[in-house]
Structure 1
């Protein structure tokens, strides 16, 4: 076929630029048309001024302005290694360079001096490939010397993410005090505050004579609010370094007074308040965990599941050591507690006072201090450094009004004032130094229209009748001084405003729901499982997973649970990124 005639044809020879550069390099090697020699020590390298000026702002300024070098045939480049200069000139004419550990630093320094930006970044990329927890701190220091932002960012990222490994390295012990303080105060540090304390102690012990006086300044970098009280008051407080510092002992004493006051108000100490309100590090994230309950209406489950929010998938944690019917579940200091319950097997069942704990850090279950009294079908919540256990059924299988409290500062249980009116399956929540108990049912399974309030600091109860309250087997959760009561043999969700002492109607659930669980994650309610009454008034188990946004008063369906589940625990635990062992 004949081609259509065209008026204009654009031809692009993609080999021309590459071929031209190679030809110029050949001319340079044969010393043809070269008009300048770059000199370093006894080495003289022939080049073309136009090639150098085209490749670098440094040489462009030298040869295209009224500098004396413009008229010179030999340019002496002081303090540049002749071997490195040869490598750079080869790179200019070929675009190829071999970077290794023996030449990367002088090559990078010379590339910066002669303004070869892409070569400088290539050296940075090579160094980033060498990054490890053992050298990332020195790489940060090197990046600052070389003014290399890309290397600094990557080295700092590794130092933040690999805190456990970095803190054990020799490099950390060699940091100066200002460098260590900058490192420990980072919000992006993947560290628990206990680790931060142990790291600063190890740094001081590396050179105790000259570093002991730094304990006060370093201790301020530890965010005391997020340290387990037992660790703080039994381990840190007794450390000789801490005891040697008046400021450190005063800070710990301020924390002790704050916790003993059972108050959310800060002590009138500006220095302490500033340290106490320091935010949790960004790398500490809240994780949703679902544990125990009745699985697929068959048997009591030993499973613990962790929800991965980014992938909306469920990961299995270590299984509970035993099956527990109607145990209670609570989180305190980023530790999951499974308290009491009824143990069952083929021969007999027994009400237990046992307490099991799980930390996401170790993914291992441990036995903790048991309750004073065995019980099941009870309610549990945490407030400050306390766990409160309310009511339930005792070892005689009767409804009990007893209350006990676990003090995590002293690792012990103590009896508290009993509930005015013993009920089963109420909705409970704690805020502003008070525990609120809504509704529930009496021993005859009649709904109780009561709000019972416990004042934590005074160890006193009060109660008031309220016709709005009519919930059984409904969970409750607190967001912004409002207590949300979700379902309870009804579709209704209401919010109790503790400040105005009134109820607010919220968006309804899809079905009448009970025996479900709720937790708060990123200021939203997450409701899991439970049982519901369908349109034919038949009770069915649920694998539903839904979230509620108080700002928009809307419900959103999430991915479902791995199986149907009710009478389980749903908790929010805080963990440091990349430290959870899934084994």
Structure 2
């Protein structure tokens, strides 16, 4: 070759890796160059070309077996113990083809086999699949399964799910059938998402009463994990102190006594800190005490109270559960970028516990998420956040292949995971929550370009959409409000493009929409929210509607309606400027309005 300018060609051909893998598969299928045969459950796997090399390269377990002078290194057949044939066969196929089908029926078996044989890549894929399929109906099985295998991450994720859905999980049959060890793991956790300790106490009683004959001797032990200082004073007196069967338990009686002492001492401590034992200079003068002497008395009394409280805390658990110290934040997302905002602290949070103030806003970007324009975002009472919108078209591209993607948000990781797609793509629909299910009402259907009356119901645990009773009207751009036992729809635009004042509601357990008092002003694309207030021990739910588009343009008027008062809609002041398509929510007991259009 003639000498010219020296050059180099660096080749990194991914196709060669595929050629090597598929060449090995062809040799295996033909039974050529076989070096070892695996046996599981008495059945032989298809003989494999250079299987020792493939297994050793994919698994530290097999690398040790075939390269450290182990007996199996020179055997023509190797029998694997405690391994299901179907699982190891699927895993070997995967190693040769990179293809495998994982489903609810085989994932635990394949995951177990991967754990034992240390097939790390597939092990991680199985783990992520199991986590994505967690529900209140399988979470405890997954938790126990993870504990048995020593899979720490899977154990943490399944327990985190149980803790976050505790209020729902305790209503299932699986909860009352828990073994004692698992129950204690749960009710002793700081991570339970409960607002009141009474919820944990009642759950423990439900578990005990499910099998009184075999569990009655555990009463003291199980209830020792209840954080009695967190119970309401009246509740503890009515439900524990006055129950002879409970107070006959010596350990429980001692716990109740320690709680009463703790609360009494803590009250004295708080009062001494707040009022300095109500000692004033006049008291000092009348009792011939100097200020320094008074300060000494106050300091001593406060110190004694603090010491007594700390000593009592050594016997009692006074730490708040996770749900008792939550903060209300606003979540903003277009799918691709997501961040949280605390309006009280004026702080943005964008993942990994990092934060910045309003001037230094940064968002958490998810490269796997699309940018979803005009998507609907909705938060349930338990904090679950849904994002609904965007189009999904399969490879065939048929009109029936259109889907409306839905994602659910992990608040701790600031990450979205996809759920079952909504089959009827639309925009300007209403979303509400009732009895733990999500309802999507009406909207403008993209395939036909006009409003519809259809209603769909989504069950989170089954990840399934079902059809529900249609609305009385074909509407889009209407408001939708969630109350404890019912949902309301109001306003919007009809297929004739007329603004509506009609209001309808659906009661939990019913399939029929009922008429409610009409709006004062017809509204389209108005923002709405529900505020729960308490007066004299009675809770009142009030719906607030802000702005929207009226017959003469943008509105700034506000209407409110309290169904329990049966007084119809009332005008409630005005917003500073006309606005539509804004988000309205409640933060710290105050109505908060975000975004929208002003022109």
TM-score (norm 1): 0.48
User: Higher helix proportion, which one?
Assistant: 2
The structure with higher relative contact order (CA 8 Å, sep 6+) is 1
TM-score relative to the length of structure 2: 0.47
* Greater Cα radius of gyration, structure 1 or 2: 1
